[in-house]
Amino acid sequence: MPTNTKRMFIEMNQINNTSQPKPLEAVEHIKDDSNYLRGTIADELLNEVTGSVIESDTQLTKFHGIYQQDDRDLRKERSRQKLEPLYSFMIRARVPGGICQPDQWQAIDDMADRYANGSIRITTRQAFQFHGVIKNKLKATVAAINQHMMDTIAACGDVNRNVMCSANPEQSDLHQEVYQTAQQISDHLTPRTSAYHEIWLNGDKVITEPKTDHEPIYGKTYLPRKFKTAVVIPPDNDVDVLAHDLGFIAIIREQKLLGFNVTVGGGMGTTHGDPKTFPLLAHTLGFCTPQQVLSVAENIVKIQRDHGDRTNRKHARFKYTVDDHGIDWVREQLFERMGFNLEPPQNANFTHTGDRFGWGKNQDGSWNYTLYVANGRVKDDAELKLKSALRAIADIHQGHFRLTANQNLVIALVASQQKSQIEKLLIQYGLTKPASSTRLLSMACVAFPTCTLAMAEAERYLPDLITKIESIQEQHHIAHRGIMIRMTGCPNGCARPFMAEVGFVGKALGRYNMYLGGNKQGTRLNQLFDENIDEKQIIKHLDTLIGHFAQQGKDHEDFGDFVIRQGYVKKVNHGIEVNIKTT
């Protein structure tokens, strides 16, 4: 053991000895006592008198990809009706790299109707979500997902989540290679507990003693907090790679994958009014070869396992571990665990976050069509039969689908002879109608009515707000200059609002904090511009800002760069500045 590290251990122990150790978070005890994520989930599923599971099990079901929620629109009414909240569950299916085969799409489509509320949600992390699954349908749903070669384990919970991968490369063979890396990372970091099979898939209850189950990477208390990994292929930064705990930036030279720049310590989540919480962009740690990827991923996870803060969930993400100890400490830790140092990072430039809509041709002659899906919600309604349309496409499509990190959908690898058939369906269902560039760049999280964390509307509200912003842009004759707007119902930041040119983060029903100054390359955090404002104030601000942008904005200058140049907000160098208001 190198002496400096040893010394640090001693110092840390001394610190622990001298100051009163802080108690562990309650969730840590729940994990510890859960017998590798079993808890009493199996019994609770059989309890017919409530649609919920007990509190401690709600923490554990997350590790199985299942979130207990309730219809918040109906809470008050049901309380008067002497009915418990209308509980249902969100089930998240992992789709590593966001790639989904047509038969899987068909299955997901069926499940949405059979088990959930009839809609499918494409998430900001390339997963599927079902909402409104009631307790007695959970098992059947999870079983159906697994039957179609997807799973839900580790889709939520304090583990490595769905591994993301760029969905938009023009080079399909390289995409395939990088995608496989994402898949391998996902497999390598998947929890090994047999509880998942036992509870959901009627697996044999072979494990009776806690000792006999084991988690070689995580241990029995898993990670202190969720952990997110993304793989990206520059110059696209569709996954917002710097917003993740762990990132791999593909380094491609002359059509060959050399390896990856490794980034660590990004993350969005904050808490209103708590200055010790802030979003952070990841640091670049170094370069690794494709063969080293799994070892790097595993050991980064283990560093967080051993050093993440288990006494405070608001300070438990890896971003705080990195920020507290510094990037050099992470390098030392990694060296200690792997026995070698990473090479210095290679040059990698991002030009573009978001998706490239419409048809694009691959090098092998096949085509991709990227379809805008408003806030990732796939459903049929009076205006648009999106769900039926995609089902019709899945029924004939021979390539695959890619869920994008911006909640959109790529109909990928369409053979040139099938292109016209797909196009016919797209036109038939009205999916090729143009949308404004601002709308295409927009993103909102789920929020009300299902998300328990939501303080304000997001998915149900942003489309209307965008319509109003579009008309402001039209009034100022800059409808063509897309502005990246993201909205979340709470500061946890699922739609990565702190990287948007204009970010809205819910504070209360109808009230948002407004952030300005992210960029379209996904390399800069924005800054708080105004607090706790309603729609009227939002519109007023945007009218002023967009009006000013129309007059003073330079050619090719993005809105996010403009607001910094004009001093509306400052350029943020460290996440701690995000919530500091300049004006």
Partner 1 sequence: MPLIEWPKNTSEPDQWNQLSVLIKQLEPSQKLWLSGYLAASAESNMPNQIAQASVPAVESQLTILYGSQTGNSESVAIQLKETAEATGLQTELFSLADFTVKNLAKKSYITLVISTHGEGEAPDDAELFYEQLFSKKAPELTHLNYSVLALGDSSYELYCQTGKEIDDRLADLGATRFNDRIDCDVDFEAEANLWVNAVVKRLDSEFKERVSQDNITTLPLNNHLTTPTQIAISRKNPYAAEILNIQKITGHGSIKNTFHIELAIDPEIIQYQPGDSLGIIAQNHEHSVNQLLAHWQVSGDELYQFKGQSADLKTLLIEYVEISQISKPFVQFLAKHIDDSDLKSLATSHQLYEAFCHGNQLYDLLQKFDSSRSVSIQDTLDHLKQITPRLYSIASAQSVYEDEVHLTVNLEDATNSGALGLASGLLCEQAEVGDCVSIFIESNHNFRLPDDPQTNVIMIGPGTGIAPFRAFLQQRKQQQAAGENWLFFGNPHFSTDFLYQTEWLKLQKLNLLTGLDVAFSRDQVEKVYVQNKLLTKAQELWKWIENGAHLYLCGDANKMAKDVEQALLTIITEQGNLDTDAAKAYLKALKRANKYQKDVY
Q: Which two tokens stand for residue 222?
A: 């898993």
For every residue of 308-373, DSSP letters joined together read S-TT-GGG-SHHHHHHHH-HHHHHHHHHHHHSSPPBPPPP----B-S---EEEE-TTS-EEEEE--
Annotated catalytic residue: which of 100, 156, 288, 445? 445
**305, 490, 496, 507: the active-site residue:** 490
**Integer Cα distance of 96 and 127 in angstroms:** 8
Calculate the alpha carbon distances from 455 to 4, 60, 97, 448, 489 in Å.
46, 24, 30, 8, 5
161 is catalytic: yes
In 47-165, alpha helices (H): 55-63, 75-80, 102-114, 135-147
Q: Is 226 a catalytic residue?
A: yes
Nearer to partner 1 (CB atom), residue 81 or residue 417: 81
- The angle subtended at Cα 112 by Cα 108 and Cα 116, nearest 5°, is 140
Q: Which of 228, 305, 486, 496 is catalytic?
A: 228
Tokens of 18: 């001298």
Residue appearing with tokens 């002023």: 544
Q: What does the block give as tokens for 159?
A: 């583990």
Q: How far is the CB of 166 from partner 1 (least distance, A)?
A: 41
User: How many distinct helices (H) and strands (E) make up the chain?
Assistant: 18, 20
Residue 227: closest CA among 261, 264, 192, 262: 264
Closer CB to partner 1, residue 18 or residue 81? 81
* CA distance linking residue 354 with residue 122, whole number of Å: 15
Closest approach, Cβ 81 to partner 1, in A, equals 5
Annotated catalytic residue within 38, 121, 125, 161: 161
In the complex, least distance from residue 86 CB atom to partner 1, rounded to whole angstroms = 6
Cβ closer to partner 1: 50 or 351?
A: 50
CB neighbour class for 288 (10 Å; exposed up to 12, middle 13-18, buried from 19): buried
How would you write 442-477 as a 3-class SS string?
CEECCCCCCCCCCCCCCCCCHHHHHHHHHHHHHHCC
Structure tokens, 438: 């601002």
Amino acid at 45: L
Give me the least distance between CB of 46 and partner 1, in Å please: 12
> In terms of CB distance, is 74 or 479 closer to partner 1?
74
- Catalytic-residue membership of 139: no
In the complex, the smallest distance separating the C-beta of residue 75 from partner 1, rounded to whole angstroms, is: 11
Is residue 540 annotated as a catalytic residue, yes or no? no
Q: Which is nearer to partner 1, 134 or 294 (CB)?
A: 134
Which residue, 116 or 414, has its beta carbon nearer to partner 1? 116
Alpha helices by DSSP H, listed for 533-576, are 535-552, 559-565
Q: Give the type of residue at 417.
A: Q
Residues near partner 1, by CB under 8 A: 48-51, 74, 77-84, 86, 134, 136
* Contact by Cβ (8 Å): 240, 353: yes
Q: Is 494 a catalytic residue?
A: yes
Catalytic residue among 156, 165, 288, 451: 451
Q: In what order do the strands lie in the sheet with 66-70?
A: 66-70, 87-93, 128-133, 120-122, 377-378
Tell me how far, at minimum, the Cβ of 113 lies from partner 1, in Å. Answer: 15
| Closer residue to partner 1, CB minimum distance, 48 or 254 | 48
Query: Nearest approach, Cβ of 315 to partner 1 (angstroms)?
Result: 34
451 is catalytic: yes
Smallest distance from the beta carbon of 135 to partner 1, in angstroms? 9
* Residue 163 neighbours by CB under 8 Å, 6+ apart: 96, 97, 182, 183, 185, 186, 189, 229, 230, 231
Catalytic residue among 125, 226, 391, 486: 226
Q: Which is nearer to partner 1, 78 or 302 (CB)?
A: 78
Closest contact distance (angstroms) between CB of 155 and partner 1 is: 25
Which CB sits closer to partner 1, 85 or 482?
A: 85
Give catalytic residue positions: 92, 161, 226, 228, 445, 451, 490, 494
